[in-house]
Structure 1
Amino acid sequence: MKNLDRFDISILEILQKDNLTPQRDIGDHIGLSAAAVQRRIKRMRESGIIKADVSVINIEELKNSVTLIVEVFIESDKIILIDKMKTIFKNTPEVQQCYYVTGEADFVLIIVVPSMKDYELLTRKLFYSNDNVKHFKTLVSMDNIKSNLEIPASILNQIE
């Protein structure tokens, strides 16, 4: 897909705030017809710019949940072992986000579980039973100050 123009970026900004916004309302707001908005959204979905349409759950409304930030340190950086780790983390529902990073740690995970007991069980599955995990460090979130999925317009301008 070619670079996004100002209409595409405006559409994405609106959809990131509320992807149920009617296309006619988006069109009225940015100066396009509903049909033109629909075509642009379809094109961005087909090209992979729009990855998914989801509902974001307010985790603070859930009675029992613990958010953990986990740094994972691995033994070997052989590509086959790193790819295996990526697959394991990607396929673990409790892992909300996974980053393969530079620095001391190799991976940073954002994990949500119902309780610390559940986290202990998860650590056995993910870390203690994995020969490539040297060690891991867990930070427990006391308060979620900001959790944002929106990509700023300044970055959207750079999509090619």
Structure 2
Amino acid sequence: MPRKLPDPQALDAFDREILRILQRDNRTPQRAIGQAVNLSAAAVQRRIAAMEQAAVITRNAAIVDPVVLGLTVTAVVEVFLRDERTASIERAKSLFRAAPEVQQCYYTTGGTSFVLVIVTADMRSYEALTRRLFSDHEWVASFRTLVSLDRVKSGMELAIPPAPPRT
């Protein structure tokens, strides 16, 4: 069941600026955020708590360089299912969500069923993963791999649009 999204109209200019700051560094002290957006630290804390409660902020995480951990292969993988029945789609979503190597997973249109971003230690690890995720499942028709030569940009920071005008 799709989750109910918060109303974008509910995010005012203060909320949006707080989100911009938190995306750059979620450890920024609330006092510093308050100074930057011209609110008290208590007001910033209340707004952050409200955005967490409304699932605008879904989690706080550290972004780790995979190469430092020996994870040197990044692959973008197109997955083609045999059919688009709900059961096949849900099985694929569940399998891909559970695989820690799958960093991002998108259910897509245009002939490709899913697009995955996968990070592994080496090609041998990648091959073992493809068997586990794709080859061992009859509902996967095929997959196509694009191996990254260089990580040019990687991030989770969204370009937050300005608040809509109040009516």
Q: With structure 1 as the length reference, what TM-score do the two structures score?
A: 0.93
The correspondence for 2:13, drawn from 6, 13, 16, is 6
Partner of 1:117: 124
54-63 vs 4-13, greater mean Cα deviation: 54-63
Provide, for residues 9-58 of structure 1, a one-character-per-residue CA deviation record: whole Å limited to 9, x for no partner: 00000000000000000000110000000000000001100000100012
Aligned counterparts, 1:79-118, within 5 A: 79-118=86-125
Code of the residue aligned with 2:14 in structure 1: it is F
Partner of 1:136: 143
1-10 vs 14-23, greater mean Cα deviation: 1-10
Cα RMSD of the aligned pairs, angstroms, is 1.4
Question: Distance in 2 between the 1:64 and 1:82 partners?
Answer: 28
3-state SS of 1:153 partner = coil
1:157 shift after superposition: 4.2
The correspondence for 1:66, drawn from 45, 61, 73, is 73
Provide, for residues 79-137 of structure 1, a one-character-per-residue CA deviation record: whole Å limited to 9, x for no partner: 11101100100111000000000112110000000010001111111111000111100
Code of the residue aligned with 1:13 in structure 2: it is R
The structure, 1 or 2, with the larger RCO (C-alpha pairs under 8 Å, 6+ apart) is 1
1:75 shift after superposition: 0.3
Share of identical aligned residues, percent? 46
Code of the residue aligned with 2:27 in structure 1: it is L
Q: With structure 2 as the length reference, what TM-score do the two structures score?
A: 0.90
Code of the residue aligned with 1:33 in structure 2: it is S
Partner of 1:27: 34
Question: Distance in 2 between the 1:104 and 1:146 partners?
Answer: 26
Uncovered stretches (5+) of structure 1, i.e. residues with no partner: none
The correspondence for 1:50, drawn from 54, 57, 70, is 57
1:60 shift after superposition: 3.9
Uncovered stretches (5+) of structure 2, i.e. residues with no partner: 1-5
How many positions carry a matched residue from both structures? 157
